[in-house]
C-alpha cells in the first residue's frame, strides 16, 4: 500500500446535506449500534449473532451480521493472518461496523478478535454507546470438548499455527458491556440476553428529540 503523505487525503472537503443520524433513527425507530462479539473459536459467537439478527429482523428491525463468511471472502480477502494483517482485518471490520451503525443498523460482528488493543481501537472509532463489547465466554476446555469444526484437533496436531487458545493468546475483555456465559446457559438464553440488553438500553426505540430541518 502506498502511503505518500503528500498525496494522501487531499482533495477532500466535508459537506453538509446528509440525512442526520437522528432523523434516520427516528424514522427507523431504532438506534444504530455495533455489538462486537468476541470469544474463542467454538464459543458460540456466530450462532448467537445470527440468532439475534433473526430475532430482530422478525420484529421488523434492521440488523446485520458481519462475520468471516462475508468479510474474509470479500473486503478482507487480500489479508492473511500475520500480526499486521490481523490488526488491519479488525480495523476494517470496525470501520464497516461504524458505517452500518451510522446508517442506523444494529450490526453484529462475529470474530474471535483475541487482542484487547484491536478491540479497544474499534471502541475508540465509535461514539460512546455505539460500541457494545459482548464477551462470548467459554473456556478453552469447553470449546475444545465441543470442537464442532474439528479445528482444535487440528491445532493440537500442529496443523493450524497460532490457533487462539492453543498456540496463540486470547486476551479476555476487561470491561465488556455484556458477558454471555455459554458454558452455563443455552444459545437461546444467550440470544435472549442480548435482545433484553438492547431493549433495556433503548436501542430498539428511536432517540428522543425532534426531526432536524428539511
Q: Annotated catalytic sites, by residue? A: 113
**Taking contact as CB under 8 A, which single stretch among the options 71-79, 130-138, 177-185, 196-204 is the one that binds a copy of itself?**
71-79
Provide the b/e sequence for 155-191 (b: ≥16 CB within 10 Å): beeeebeebbbbebebeebeebebebebeeeeeeebb
The three cell numbers of residue 92 are 476494517
Which one-letter DSSP state was computed for residue 157?
A: T
Residue 15 vs 208, nearer CB to a copy of itself: 15
**Taking contact as CB under 8 A, which single stretch among the options 8-16, 135-143, 176-184, 191-199 is the one that binds a copy of itself?**
8-16
Provide the CB-side half-sphere exposure for 44 (13 A, CA). 24
Burial zone of 97 (CB within 10 Å; 0-12 exposed, 13-18 middle, 19+ buried)? buried
Judged by CB under 8 A, the residue of 127, 149, 209, 212 near a copy of itself is 149
**Taking contact as CB under 8 A, which single stretch among the options 94-102, 113-121, 169-177, 198-206 is the one that binds a copy of itself?**
94-102
**Contact pattern from residue 194 through residue 213 relative to a copy of itself, giving x for each residue in contact according to CB under 8 A and a dash for the rest:** --------------------
Contact yes or no for 53/108 (Cβ under 8 A): yes
In the window 106-125, what residues touch a copy of itself (CB under 8 A)?
125
Residue 149 vs 184, nearer CB to a copy of itself: 149
Residue among 107, 91, 99 nearest 34 (CA): 107
Measured CA to CA, the distance from residue 156 to residue 30 in angstroms comes to 44
Give the binding site for a copy of itself (CB under 8 A): 1-4, 7-15, 17-19, 23-24, 27-28, 41, 46-47, 50-51, 53-54, 57-58, 60, 62-66, 68-70, 72-75, 77-82, 84-85, 88, 92, 95-96, 98-100, 102-105, 125, 149, 151, 160-161, 163, 214
Amino acid at each position: 500500500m502506498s502511503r505518500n503523505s503528500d498525496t494522501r487525503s487531499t482533495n477532500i472537503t466535508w459537506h453538509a446535506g446528509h440525512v442526520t443520524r437522528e432523523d434516520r433513527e427516528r424514522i427507523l425507530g431504532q438506534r444504530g449500534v455495533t455489538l462486537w462479539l468476541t470469544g474463542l473459536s467454538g464459543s458460540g459467537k456466530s450462532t448467537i449473532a445470527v440468532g439475534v439478527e433473526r430475532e430482530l429482523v422478525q420484529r421488523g428491525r434492521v440488523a446485520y451480521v458481519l462475520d468471516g463468511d462475508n468479510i474474509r471472502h470479500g473486503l478482507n480477502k487480500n489479508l492473511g493472518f500475520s500480526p499486521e494483517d490481523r490488526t488491519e482485518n479488525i480495523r476494517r471490520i470496525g470501520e464497516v461496523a461504524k458505517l452500518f451503525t451510522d446508517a442506523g443498523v444494529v450490526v453484529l460482528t462475529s470474530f474471535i478478535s483475541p487482542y484487547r488493543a484491536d478491540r479497544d481501537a474499534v471502541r475508540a472509532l465509535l461514539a460512546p454507546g455505539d460500541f457494545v463489547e459482548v464477551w462470548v465466554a467459554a473456556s478453552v476446555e469447553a470449546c475444545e470438548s465441543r470442537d464442532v469444526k474439528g479445528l482444535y484437533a487440528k491445532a493440537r496436531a500442529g496443523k493450524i499455527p497460532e490457533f487462539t487458545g492453543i498456540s496463540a493468546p486470547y486476551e479476555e475483555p476487561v470491561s465488556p458491556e455484556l458477558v454471555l456465559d455459554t458454558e452455563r446457559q443455552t444459545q437461546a438464553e444467550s440470544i435472549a440476553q442480548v435482545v433484553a440488553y438492547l431493549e433495556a438500553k433503548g436501542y430498539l426505540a428511536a432517540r428522543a428529540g425532534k426531526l432536524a430541518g428539511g
